[in-house]
Homo-oligomer: A and B are copies of this chain.
Amino acid sequence: MSKDGSISASVIKRLPRYYRFLGELENKKVERISSRELSELMKLTASQIRQDLNCFGGFGQQGYGYHVSELRKEIGKILGVDKRFRTILIGAGNLGKAIASHINFESRGCVLEAIFDANPKLTGETVGDLPIRPTDEIERFCLERKPVVAVLCIPKAATQEIADKLVELGIKAFWNFSHYDLSIDHDNIVVENVHLGDSLLTLTYGANNLTE
Contacts and interface: CB of A to CB of B under 8 A. Distances in A.
Interface of A: 12-13, 15-17, 19-21, 42-43, 78-81, 83, 85, 93-95, 97-99, 101-105, 108-110, 148-149, 172-175, 179, 181, 183, 188-190, 192, 194-211
A197 B103 contact: yes
B102 A208 contact: no
A16 B12 CA distance: 24
B101 A197 contact: no
Contacts of A200: 103, 105, 108, 110, 175, 192
A101 B78 CA distance: 36
Contact of A102 (B93, B175, B198, B204): B93
Contact of A20 (B83, B192, B195): B195
B93 A197 contact: no
Contact of A203 (B181, B192, B197, B205): B192
